[in-house]
Amino acid sequence: MSSFLIQQTHVCLSVSLCLSLTHTHTHTYTHKMEQIQHKHVQVKGLKLHVAEIGAGAKVVLFLHGFPEIWYSWRHQMIAAAHASYRALAIDFRGYGLSDPPLEPEKASFLDLVDDVIGVLDSLGISKAFLVGKDAGAIPTFLVAILHPERVSGVVTLGIPFMLPGPSILQAHLLPKGFYVTRWQEPGRAEADFGRLDVQTVIKNIYTLFSSSEIPIASDDKEIMDLVDPSTPLPPWFSHEDLAAYADLYKNSGFRTALQVPYRCMNKDCGINNPKIKAPSLLIMGEKDYCIKFPGMEDFIRSEKVKEFMPDLEIDYIPEGSHFVQEQFPEQVNQLILSFLGKHGA
């Protein structure tokens, strides 16, 4: 056989093997996703959606932010179940497959605390590790303060310790086109989002929030105008992922999601001298735009945050964006599982 034919055969075999391994990996992952079970539980008159995988005695409850949903935790749920934990992820009230509150405009972060405790009670779970991302970090902190006996440990991604109240974000130090300020205006985000279909809204927010720059619009633009429609999805976020998100938000809409977190974050939660005693972990992507919020990076790197969480570990992922758990799932999974292993006794 000629040298060329040998090389050509080798290339063909390599490509075939690569395709075979890719197909096997995809098939295995799809099978694991299919093992995630779905149910609804009653919490204060509302049906809340719970996704669950694994049958371990120790429980990990994952709490999403915006524009996320239970599905945001798919990689971490599968990894936790594989490590013999019982992994749960909920859709907060008004999100995805959960019922909306009767009066969405009155909803607050304390309602999300009720969601967490209600789900644990409904499933007969006395104690769990809480893992919160973005706005899901806020109810994580609140539960750890208000119900410390229910919390084995705390993990948050992208957000250091903070509680709802007038000083939660120093938005006055940012231009008035700051996306949080815009979305706090009643009706403004609704009109902005309403020009587009739900899938495009999710795509645009994922595109904006994947950047290392804070989304800020000029006076003559809305937040959705900041995205070039031709911008491709991030490489770690597939069209199937986008469709899954879009289907869930088509069901719930954005009414409650705009109230919690954005329009209720400045409402004081009435907690004085807060401190979380549970072992804790903060995972920060160094390309997460949130680290550029006024005072945020100094609060974390100076370890002032440990005044509120004395037993806190901090890990940085250099290229990590706002969606670090989807962008670098293996790294995040390793950090979370290592933390759980240390504090799971």
Catalytic residues, which ones? 134, 262, 322
CA distance 206 to 233: 8
Cα 232 to Cα 26, 200, 228, distances in angstroms: 22, 12, 9
Beta-bridge partner residues of 155:
131, 281
Nearest CA-CA partner of 284 in 161, 118, 148, 153: 161
CA distance 295 to 141: 19
CA distance 131 to 7: 50
The neighbour count for residue 297, using CB atoms within 10 Å, is: 15
Nearest CA-CA partner of 291 in 333, 320, 264, 261: 320
Close Cβ partners of 133 (under 8 Å, ≥ 6 residues apart): 62, 63, 64, 65, 68, 72, 73, 156, 157, 158, 159, 325
Residue 344 corresponds to which tokens in the numbers above?
A: 């799971």
